[in-house]
C-alpha cells in the first residue's frame, strides 16, 4: 500500500514539475514588468505544496529556482544577471534557496491552517496566497539585504523615487505584487480546493 502511495505521489510530483517546465518553455511562467517579472509559477508551486506536502513543495520551488538561476546566468533576467556578476553565491541563494524555502513554507503554513480550519475551506486560499507573498517578501528582502547598495539597485531606487529600502520594495513591487497575490488566492486556492475535493483528500 505504501509503495502504491509513494508511486502515486511521485507521479503527481512529476506532473507538477512538468507544468512548471512547460510554463517556463512557453513563456507563461513570468511576464516582464519593468526590472522585475510577474511570476505566475507560484500558482502550481502552491497547489503542489498543498496537495502533496511541504517536501514536495520544496522540490517544486527548487525546480523553479533552477530556471530562475538559468535566467540569471544567461542574462535572460537583467536584474539577476547583474547580481550574478557581483556575487554568484548570493544569486544562487536568491534564485534557488529562497524559492525552495517558499515551496516548503507554503506546505507548512497550509498544514497548520488546515488543522484549525474546521470546514477545510480557508486553508486553501491561505496556501494560495502564501506562495506568492513569501516569494515577494523573501526575494525582495534578500535584494535589500545583500544588493541594495549596488549601483544597479541604487539607480533603480532613484528612478522610482525611493528614499529608503522599504519604499524601494513597495514602489518596485507595486501592483505587480498584488496581482500575483490575487492570482495565487483565486486560481491557486480554488484549483487546490477543487482537486482535493475531487480526489477526496480533505
CATH number at residue 114: 1.10.1760.20
- The single residue listed with the C-alpha cell 505587480 is 176
What residues pair up with 38 in beta bridges, in sequence order?
Answer: 31
Distance set, CA 105 to CA 7, 54, 83, 112, 165 (Å):
24, 7, 25, 10, 25
Per residue of the chain (202 residues), what is the pLDDT tens digit?
Answer: 577 778 888 999 999 999 999 999 988 887 766 656 678 899 999 999 999 999 999 999 999 999 999 999 999 888 999 999 999 999 999 999 999 999 999 999 999 999 999 999 999 999 999 999 999 999 999 999 999 999 999 999 999 899 999 999 998 888 788 888 999 999 999 999 999 988 777 6
* Cα distance between residue 58 and residue 114, in whole Å: 19
Q: Compute the distance between CA of residue 68 and CA of residue 30 in angstroms, rounded to an integer.
A: 10
| pTM for the full predicted model | 0.91
Per the listing, cell 512529476 goes with 14
For residues 5 and 150, give the distance between their C-alpha atoms in angstroms, rounded to a whole number.
49
Boundaries of domain holding 69: 2-198
- What residues form DSSP beta bridges with 32? 37
In whole angstroms, give the CA distance from residue 38 to residue 32.
6
Helices 151-160/78-86 angle, 10° precision: 140
Which residues, 6 or more positions from 98, have their beta carbon under 8 angstroms from its beta carbon?
A: 65, 135, 138, 139, 142
- Number of structural domains (the chain) is 1
Amino acid at each position: 500500500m505504501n509503495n502504491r502511495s509513494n508511486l502515486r505521489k511521485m507521479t503527481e510530483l512529476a506532473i507538477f514539475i512538468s507544468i512548471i517546465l512547460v510554463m517556463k518553455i512557453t513563456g507563461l511562467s513570468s511576464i516582464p514588468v519593468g526590472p522585475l517579472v510577474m511570476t505566475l509559477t507560484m500558482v502550481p508551486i502552491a497547489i503542489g505544496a498543498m496537495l502533496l506536502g511541504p517536501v514536495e513543495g520544496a522540490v517544486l520551488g527548487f525546480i523553479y529556482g533552477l530556471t530562475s538561476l538559468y535566467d540569471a546566468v544567461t542574462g535572460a533576467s537583467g536584474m539577476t544577471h547583474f547580481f550574478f556578476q557581483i556575487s554568484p553565491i548570493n544569486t544562487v541563494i536568491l534564485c534557488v534557496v529562497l524559492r525552495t524555502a517558499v515551496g516548503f513554507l507554503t506546505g507548512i503554513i497550509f498544514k497548520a491552517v488546515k488543522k484549525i480550519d474546521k470546514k477545510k475551506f480557508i486553508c486553501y486560499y491561505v496556501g494560495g496566497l502564501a506562495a506568492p507573498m513569501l516569494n515577494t517578501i523573501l526575494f525582495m528582502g534578500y535584494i535589500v539585504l545583500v544588493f541594495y547598495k549596488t549601483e544597479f539597485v541604487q539607480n533603480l531606487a532613484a528612478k522610482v523615487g525611493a528614499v529608503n529600502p522599504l519604499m524601494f520594495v513597495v514602489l518596485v513591487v507595486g501592483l505587480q505584487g498584488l496581482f500575483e497575490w490575487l492570482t495565487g488566492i483565486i486560481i491557486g486556492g480554488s484549483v487546490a480546493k477543487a482537486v482535493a475535493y475531487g480526489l477526496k483528500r480533505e
